[in-house]
Amino acid sequence: MPKRILEEFKVEWFQLLDECGTLDSSLLSPLLSPSESITKKEIQGFYESMVLIRSFDEKALKLQRMGRLGTYASICGQEAIQVGCAAALRSSDWFFPAFRESGLSILRGLPMKTLYQYWSGDERGSVVPEAHNDFPIAIPVGTHIPHAVGAAWAALYKKDKIAVLATFGDGATSKGDFHEGLNFAGVFSLPVVFLCQNNQWAISIPVSRQTAASTIAQKAIAYGFPGIQVDGNDVIAVYLVVKQALERARRGEGPTFIECLTYRLNDHTTADDASRYRSEEEVTLWQEKDPMRRLRRYLEKTYDWSTSHEEALQQEVNARISTAVEEYESVGPDDPLQMFDSLFETLPKDLLEQRAELKRRIEKEQEGARH
Amino acid sequence: MRTLSYAQAIHEAHAQLLDRDPRVFVIGQGLWNPWYAGTTLKDLDKAFGCDRILDSPVSENATTGAAIGAAIAGMRPILFHPRMDFMLLAIDPIVNQAANWSYLFSAQVSVPLVIRSVINRGGEQGAQHSQALHAMLAHIPGLKVVMPSTAYDAKGLLIAAMEDNNPVIYIDDRWLYETTSDVPEDCYAIPIGKGIVRREGRDITIASISYMAEEAMKAGLSLEKQGIDVEVIDLRSAKPLDIDIILKSVKKTGRLVVADGGWKMFGFAAEVAASVSERAFHDLKGPILRVCLPDIPAPTSRALEERYYPRASDIEKTVKKSLNIVSVA
């Protein structure tokens, strides 16, 4: 019986900036068009963004520990992905976040105050600024992947020259939504980029228990479009690969799947204790690969980034965060009746009655409290 | 007798079922996590091995389908959905497959499957993480739905669910995990479809289930101090519904309040009210009233949550309303 190889595949891995902060610029040129370059200003901007979103994150964790914030999902260790994506996206592109993208949302223009409100369980924290092309945070795992696919289809249909970015974690790749969404995007050649922040832990389940495949990137092969693995702690690699993929989408050349290999340095959320299921050594190993540390090393070596630069930056960032926290904490509790007011434009009769009953009860209690 | 918490009772039932029958296994998300299922499955992986306590990928549909396949192939799975909300991702295998299987194949093959899920109310869980969907499931022919409110029932109903040869939905409520009651050490079953009178009274009947049974007991105690003698029924199973126990009580009291932690419209309480009015209309001295969730999704902020979830005080108010209506008329 004749036998022949029908297809052969390779999965590429990208890193430009290594753990010591050394940039392999020979890899830069194939990723940039002849007219493009990455400027010092851009790279310094990446670093400033990282400091901002890490500080936001640290503050959130502190506020939660003090009882001033609700359950919070830390982004610590995953800043390079979020900064790289934010820089590559245009404001006209659509972004579909999961729940570990606070940094990317901030860099897309979502006020930090609003995000603190969101993570305090305040419904008003889900209200985004007008003309903000981001979908809401998807707490259920992977459910936003098909939504992103639908938005990409709409863009194609309307001939909008935009791209859609959907981000999710490694756990989401075990969902039916992931398979069906990516398959659909491949069949319709949609302008969408799927980006997996593979932080190697879905709460307490390691990525080895999500898939038997050696990379998540290779899953794209079966859907008929490119899959690539990037060092998710290298902001320059993430930026360039995502930028290329988004441009490819805008040109009408179809979807791309990018796996950013990173590590969740903190607990899953503040309601978790990761020390109970993973080793200290593993965490230490990944702390060495910290995305901020390596970029700072690069800046120090290449651009004479100094302690005084660092201090000035940190001071400015702290001031911005303090203002956001003040704004967030000066908002009073919401009116309980508000729970009836977001579901329908006009309340049906039964809900009007339920609303009136609660209103009566509250007024009666307030009257009782006054006497 | 020993006292166990609701969570400990669920844990013990699992351990005893795993111990006595090698066909029993548990599959679902978070099973190896020390806290994800509360303490209800803590260290069972260490005691019984990871091949019987299967922590799964984030794949509700596949996990449920696989559990059904294993059940048909002769195993006795306990499928665990740590949040009832995400059990919806498996609604096709539950509703179209498991529930229909015995009927479709002339009772030659059944699906002896326990599907356990948890209602996670309050604490910012919000619209997508705290839903009580028992009424929806009870609507489906072929499914039984049990909802224990005490530690004693939590153990006995899990064992009964396992002994049943059809799919049984076992729903526990996170708000009950720390409640305690006497729990025998042996492996006992509580009949599915049988309610219990938790408190005898003459003036009014409260028919309740799950955490609202606990709240109804608190209301009963408080009303007693105000001279109102309340009978509290804990139905324990949503389906089959023990209508006789309510009818007997209503014959005595003539008044009924139904307390359920689900939504009001088209809900469990609506079914109870309709069933009673069909059979005992002439025993009733006034309308049947319901204490349920408002018909809106669960909020996340504390200010809204406080007003969203019905508690003992709401039952109390409704009981008084029921009595007042009659006295005014």
CATH number at B71 reads 3.40.50.970
How far are the Cα atoms of B12, B28, B273, B286 from residue B267, in angstroms, in the given order? 32, 28, 10, 21
The token duo for A99 is 């729940």
Question: CB–CB of A210 and B58 under 8 A?
Answer: yes
Question: CB–CB of B303 and A333 under 8 A?
Answer: yes
Question: CB–CB of B301 and A351 under 8 A?
Answer: no
Chain A: residue whose CA lies nearest to B293 = A354
Partner residue facing B61 (CB), from A71, A176, A209: A176
Domain check: are A247 and A324 in the same one? yes
Please provide the average confidence, as pLDDT, over all residues in chain A: 95
The token duo for A337 is 């009746």
Active site residue A277: yes
Domain check: are A90 and A67 in the same one? yes
Task: State the DSSP string of B223-274.
Answer: HHHTT--EEEEE--EEES--HHHHHHHHHHH--EEEEEEEESTTSHHHHHHH
Partner residue facing A123 (CB), from B264, B304, B307: B304
Q: What is the pLDDT of residue A201?
A: 97
Q: What is the pLDDT of residue B121?
A: 92
Question: CB–CB of A354 and B294 under 8 A?
Answer: yes
Residue A2 forms part of a structural domain: no
Residue B327 forms part of a structural domain: no
pLDDT at B97 over 80: yes
Domain check: are B162 and B126 in the same one? yes
User: Which site among B31, B64, B301, B309 would you substitute to test the A interface, given the most A Cβ atoms closer than 10 Å to its Cβ?
Assistant: B301
Domain check: are B77 and B200 in the same one? no
- Residues of chain B in contact with residue A335, where contact means CB-CB under 8 angstroms, are 303
Domain check: are A275 and A347 in the same one? no
Question: CB–CB of B301 and A123 under 8 A?
Answer: yes
The domain boundary residue, chosen from B183, B210, B231:
B183
- In 3D space, the residue among A334, A341, A351 whose CA is nearest the CA of residue A117 turns out to be A334
- Residues of chain A in contact with residue B124, where contact means CB-CB under 8 angstroms, are 70-71, 121
Question: CB–CB of A338 and B30 under 8 A?
Answer: no
- Residues of chain A in contact with residue B297, where contact means CB-CB under 8 angstroms, are 343
Domain residue limits at A237: 12-329
Say how far apart CA A256 and CA A243 lie, in whole Å.
11
Say how far apart CA A255 and CA B157 lie, in whole Å.
50
In this complex, how many residue pairs, one in chain A and one in chain B, have their CB atoms less than 8 Å apart? 100
Domain check: are A344 and A309 in the same one? no
The domain boundary residue, chosen from B149, B183, B217:
B183
Domain check: are A325 and A350 in the same one? no
Question: CB–CB of B36 and A204 under 8 A?
Answer: yes
Residue B78's DSSP bridge partners are B26, B114
Say how far apart CA A46 and CA A24 lie, in whole Å.
17
Average pLDDT over residues B292-309: 95
B300 Cα to chain A: minimum distance (Å): 5
- In 3D space, the residue among A66, A174, A1 whose CA is nearest the CA of residue B29 turns out to be A174
Say how far apart CA A122 and CA A115 lie, in whole Å.
10
The domain boundary residue, chosen from B121, B151, B183:
B183
Strand pairing report for A12-14 and B256-263: unpaired
- Residues of chain B in contact with residue A210, where contact means CB-CB under 8 angstroms, are 57-58
Residue A129 forms part of a structural domain: yes
Residue A1 forms part of a structural domain: no
Residue B124 forms part of a structural domain: yes
**Element at B76 (helix H, strand E):** strand B76-81
Residue B263's DSSP bridge partners are B293
User: Which site among B58, B290, B309, B320 would you substitute to test the A interface, given the most A Cβ atoms closer than 10 Å to its Cβ?
Assistant: B58
Domain check: are A217 and A352 in the same one? no
Show which residues on chain B lie within 8 Å of chain A, measured between beta carbons: 29-30, 32-36, 55, 57-59, 61-62, 85-86, 89, 124, 126, 128-129, 264-265, 294-297, 299-304, 306-308, 317
Domain residue limits at B269: 196-322
Distance of CA B144 to the CA centre of its chain: 11
- Show the beta-strand stretches assigned E in A217-293: 227-231, 256-261
Residue B188 forms part of a structural domain: no
Residue A5 forms part of a structural domain: no
Residue A3 forms part of a structural domain: no
Q: For chain A, give percent helix, strand, coil, nearest 5.
A: 50, 10, 40
Among B60, B215, B271, B316, the active-site one is B60
Domain check: are A233 and A363 in the same one? no
Residue B191 forms part of a structural domain: no
| Alpha helices (runs of H) in B80-210, residue ranges in sequence order | 84-87, 91, 99-104, 134-138, 151-163
Partner residue facing B36 (CB), from A141, A176, A203: A203
Residue B189 forms part of a structural domain: no
A361 Cα to chain B: minimum distance (Å): 10
- Residues of chain B in contact with residue A140, where contact means CB-CB under 8 angstroms, are 85-86, 128
Q: What is the pLDDT of residue B295?
A: 96
Domain check: are B149 and B206 in the same one? no
Domain check: are B178 and B81 in the same one? yes
Domain check: are B62 and B175 in the same one? yes
Say how far apart CA A15 and CA A197 lie, in whole Å.
15
Per-residue pLDDT band at A37 (split at 50, 70, 90):
confident
* End-to-end Cα separation, chain A, in angstroms: 95
Domain check: are A224 and A347 in the same one? no
Question: CB–CB of A174 and B85 under 8 A?
Answer: no
Question: CB–CB of A276 and B34 under 8 A?
Answer: yes
Task: Count how many domains chain B has.
Answer: 2
Average pLDDT over residues A55-63: 98
Domain check: are B133 and B69 in the same one? yes
A287-303 burial, b at 16+ Cβ within 10 Å, e below that, comes to: eebbbbebbbbbbeeee
Residue B181's DSSP bridge partners are B4
| Domain CATH code at residue A247 | 3.40.50.970
Domain check: are B150 and B22 in the same one? yes
Q: What is the pLDDT of residue B14?
A: 98
Say how far apart CA A242 and CA A104 lie, in whole Å.
13
Partner residue facing A336 (CB), from B32, B59, B306: B306
User: Which site among A123, A126, A341, A361 would you substitute to test the B interface, given the most B Cβ atoms closer than 10 Å to its Cβ?
Assistant: A123
Which residue, chain included where needed, has tokens 């139904």? B258
Domain check: are B26 and B167 in the same one? yes
Say how far apart CA A176 and CA A222 lie, in whole Å.
15
Residue B230 forms part of a structural domain: yes
| Domain CATH code at residue B269 | 3.40.50.920
> Which residues make Cβ contacts (< 8 Å) with residue A285, sequence separation at least 6?
none
B42 Cα to chain A: minimum distance (Å): 12
Question: CB–CB of B300 and A211 under 8 A?
Answer: no
Residues B115 and B79 sit within 8 Å (Cβ to Cβ) = yes
Domain check: are A101 and A72 in the same one? yes
Among A100, A248, A264, A294, the active-site one is A264
Q: What is the pLDDT of residue A24?
A: 87
Q: What is the pLDDT of residue A369?
A: 83
Domain check: are A323 and A344 in the same one? no
Residue A143 forms part of a structural domain: yes
Say how far apart CA B292 and CA A342 lie, in whole Å.
20
State percent of chain B over pLDDT 70.
Answer: 98
* A85-144 pLDDT per residue, tens: 999 999 999 999 999 999 999 999 999 999 999 999 999 999 988 888 999 999 999 999
Name the least confident of A29-43, A218-232, B10-24, B232-246: A29-43
Exposed/middle/buried for residue A334 (C-beta within 10 Å: 0-12, 13-18, 19+)? middle
Active site residue A268: yes
pLDDT at B329 over 50: no
Strand order, beta sheet including A12-14? A12-14, A227-231, A256-261, A192-198, A164-169, A94-96
**What does the longest C-alpha to C-alpha distance in chain A come to?**
95
Question: CB–CB of A121 and B35 under 8 A?
Answer: no
pLDDT at B1 over 90: no
Residue A7 forms part of a structural domain: no
Q: What is the pLDDT of residue B325?
A: 44
- Residues of chain A in contact with residue B299, where contact means CB-CB under 8 angstroms, are 123, 339
User: Which site among A124, A143, A174, A358 would you substitute to test the B interface, given the most B Cβ atoms closer than 10 Å to its Cβ?
Assistant: A174
Among A54, A268, A294, A296, the active-site one is A268
Average pLDDT over residues A248-263: 98
DSSP, res B310: -
Domain check: are B11 and B138 in the same one? yes
Residue B170 forms part of a structural domain: yes
Question: CB–CB of A123 and B299 under 8 A?
Answer: yes
Domain check: are B126 and B255 in the same one? no
Partner residue facing A140 (CB), from B55, B128, B308: B128
pLDDT at A34 over 80: no
Task: Count how many domains chain A has.
Answer: 2
Domain check: are A299 and A362 in the same one? no
**Element at B314 (helix H, strand E):** helix B312-328
Say how far apart CA B97 and CA B63 lie, in whole Å.
13
Q: What is the pLDDT of residue A32?
A: 73
Question: CB–CB of B304 and A351 under 8 A?
Answer: no
Question: CB–CB of A202 and B32 under 8 A?
Answer: no
Residue B127 forms part of a structural domain: yes
Amino acid at A16: L
Per-residue pLDDT band at B326 (split at 50, 70, 90):
very low
- In 3D space, the residue among B47, B40, B45 whose CA is nearest the CA of residue B56 turns out to be B45
Q: What is the pLDDT of residue B316?
A: 96
Q: For chain B, give percent helix, strand, coil, nearest 5.
A: 45, 20, 35
Domain check: are A162 and A224 in the same one? yes
Residues in chain B: 329
Residue A12's DSSP bridge partners are A228
- Residues of chain B in contact with residue A333, where contact means CB-CB under 8 angstroms, are 301-303
